Amino acid sequence: MMMAGGATALGPTVAGSGRRSAGSAEPGAQPPAGPPGPAAGPDSGPVAGPAEIRPLEPAERAALMRVFETALVSIPSLPFFAEDQTGAAYFHEGRQFGAFVDGQLVGSTDSLASWLAVPGGRRLPHAAVTRVGVLPTHTRRGLLTALMRAQLTDARTRGDVVATLRASEAVIYERFGYGVATRAVTGEVLRSRARLRPTVAGAHGPVRLLDPSADSTWELLARVYESAAHQPGAIGRSERWWNIRRLRAAVEAGNEHYIAVHGAPGAEDGFVRYQPEAPQGWRHREDRAVDVHDFVVGSQQARAGLLRYLLGVDLVTRLNFELPFDDPLPFMLTDQRAMKITATEDETWLRLLDVPAALAARTYRDGVGAVTIEVVDELLADNSGCYEVSGSGAARLPDAPATGADLQTDVATLGAAYLGGTRWWQLAAAGRVQARDQAALTRADELFRVDPLPYAGTPF
Ligand SMILES: CC(C)(COP(=O)(O)OP(=O)(O)OC[C@H]1O[C@@H](n2cnc3c(N)ncnc32)[C@H](O)[C@@H]1OP(=O)(O)O)[C@@H](O)C(=O)NCCC(=O)NCCS
C-alpha cells in the first residue's frame, strides 16, 4: 500500500487547539524575544500557597479549558460542554491533570488515548498530550514541570509506551524528554500553473462529495483513516478526536466545509477535507485560497485521484497544504514550481515512556551490523541503561560493554532519532550524542533509516 504521508492536516493542532502548538501560534511566529525561561512570567513574587498537582474530576474539565484558553491567549473556544457538563465526548477518562494554588486551578495538561505507528507496522499505545497551559500569573514556578512529571508517570502506568505533542514553542519540552521525531512542510499550490503529469498513474478513480453534517460521513472518514494510516509516525484518531474535529469544523467553517472521498462505495481509500481560507468576501477576491485540512490517501490512486479533484475545483486560485517533508506532490506536477514551500516545521515531539518496549517494537534495517546505545532518562529513571540494536531487533543489555557503548545519549535525543526522521549524525553534530566513532554513527543511521520519512499529519 502506497502511503502518502497518510494524512496531512492544516488548521488547529496546538496541544489542544490549532496548528503548531500545544498552544496556538501562527505558522512561522517567532518565540518571544529575549532569553528563554524565567523572564516570561510576570514577577508577582512567591506563590501564596504550595501547589497541589492531581487528576481532575470530569466536572473540572470546563475549568481546565478556561485555564488552557487563557494561557494560549488566542484560541477559539469550542462548546464542549453544551450537551453535558463533563464534555465526555471530547475527553478521555482520567487523563486530565491540574495544578492548584490556594485551591484555584492555575495549570493544566491532558492527553487523548491513541496509538503511534512505528517502522515495521506495529501500533504502540500512545498518549497524545494536549491542553497544556499555566496561567500567566503563575508561570516559571515549576508548575508545568510538576504537571509533566505526573502526566508521564501516569501515562506509563496506564500502559502507554510513547507520548507525543505539538509544541507552541521549541524551547519547552526537551527538558521533559521530548525530541523532534517528525517534520512537516507547509506549501501552497498555484492552481493556474499546476497540472498533473500525464505519467501519474491512477488519477481517474471515482471521487464523490459527502455531506459534512451526516454522521455516516464521519464514520466513513474514521474507517478510511484507520485502514490508510500505516506510515511510521501516524497516530490513532479516537472517537474523541473525531468529535473534536467535527465540532471545530462546524463551529469554525459552518457550511463552508467540504469533504470529498476517493473510491467506489464500500471501497473508499482516501479523502480530503477543505474550506475557504478567510471566507469573508472570498468570491470577490483575486486570491481565493483553500485550506486543505485533511489529505488522507491509502493508495497511489487515491493520492492522484484526490489531487486531480482539488486541482479541478473552479474559482480556487491557491491550495494550502501541510505535507510530509518528502511528499511527492511537487514531482507529480508538470511544473514543480507550481508548489511553493512556505515553511518547514517541527511536527511530532516524541517522548519514549517505556524505552525497552519502544525499541523492541520497531524494526531495523538488516545487514548493517549492531550498535549499542547508552541512554540516560532523568525523569523516568528505569529507562536508563544500555541497549543493543541490530537488524534482528533491540534489547536492553544487563551491563554496558566494558569498552563503553557505541553511542551515549539522553532519552530526548533517542526520541528524536527513534522513528528514523531525525538522523543520528545530525544529533551528533549538535553534540547531543557521544559516538565511539563515525562508523558507529553510520551504522546507527542505517539501522534506524526509514523511507518515506515518518509523519503524523493529525492535529490535536
Ligand atoms: C509553557 C508553560 C506551560 C510553562 O509553564 P511554567 O509553569 O512556567 O513552566 P515551569 O516553571 O515548570 O518551567 C520549567 C522550565 O521551562 C522553562 N520554560 C517554560 N516555559 C518556557 C517558555 N515558554 N519559554 C522558555 N522557557 C520556558 C522555565 O524557564 C523553566 O526553566 P528552568 O528549568 O531552566 O528553570 C506556560 O508558560 C504557558 O502556559 N505558556 C502559554 C501557553 C503554552 O504555550 N502552552 C504550551 C502549549 S504546547
What percentage of the chain reaches a pLDDT higher than 70?
89
The pLDDT, as a whole number, for residue 378 is 97
* 388 in contact with ligand 1, CB cutoff 6 A: no
The pLDDT, as a whole number, for residue 30 is 41
The pLDDT, as a whole number, for residue 283 is 79
Higher pLDDT, 279 or 52: 52
As a whole number of angstroms, the distance between CA 373 and CA 201 comes to 43
Helix (H, G, I), strand (E, B) or coil at 417: helix
What percentage of the chain reaches a pLDDT higher than 90?
83
- Out of 66, 144, 173, 174, mutate this one to test ligand 1's pocket (max ligand atoms within 8 Å of CB): namely 144
Domain boundaries, the chain: 51-181, 184-346, 354-448
Query: By the 8 A CB rule, do 386 and 396 touch?
Result: yes
pLDDT per residue as tens digits for the range 149-172: 999 999 999 999 999 999 999 999
Cell output for 209:
462529495
As a whole number of angstroms, the distance between CA 180 and CA 162 comes to 13
Phi and psi based region of residue 76 (left: phi greater than 0; alpha: psi -120 to 50; beta: remaining): beta
Which CATH number does the domain 51-181 belong to among 3.40.630.30, 3.40.50.720, 3.40.50.2300, 3.10.20.600? Answer: 3.40.630.30
The pLDDT, as a whole number, for residue 48 is 55
Instruction: List the residue whose alpha carbon is closest to atom 34 of ligand 1.
Output: 37
Q: What are phi and psi of 113, to 5 degrees?
A: -70, 135
Q: What is the CATH number of domain 184-346?
A: 3.40.630.30
DSSP summary character for residue 30: P
Does 47 have pLDDT greater than 90?
A: no
User: Whole-model pTM?
Assistant: 0.91
* 37 in contact with ligand 1, CB cutoff 6 A: yes
CA of 453 to the centre of ligand 1 (A): 30
**What sign does the CA torsion over 229, 231, 236, 241 have?**
negative
As a whole number of angstroms, the distance between CA 132 and CA 89 comes to 19
Least confident of 20-29, 137-146, 178-187, 395-404: 20-29
Arithmetic mean of pLDDT over the chain = 90
Which CATH class for the 354-448 domain?
alpha beta
Cell output for 178:
521530548
Instruction: Summarize the confidence of residues 262-289 as an average pLDDT.
Output: 92
- Taking the CA atoms of residue 2, residue 416, residue 163 and residue 351 in that order, the dihedral angle to the nearest 10 degrees is 160
Is it true that 51-181 and 354-448 share their CATH fold?
Answer: no
With a CB cutoff of 8 Å and minimum separation 6, the contacts of 72 are: 14, 16, 17, 21, 23, 24, 133, 168
Length of the chain: 460
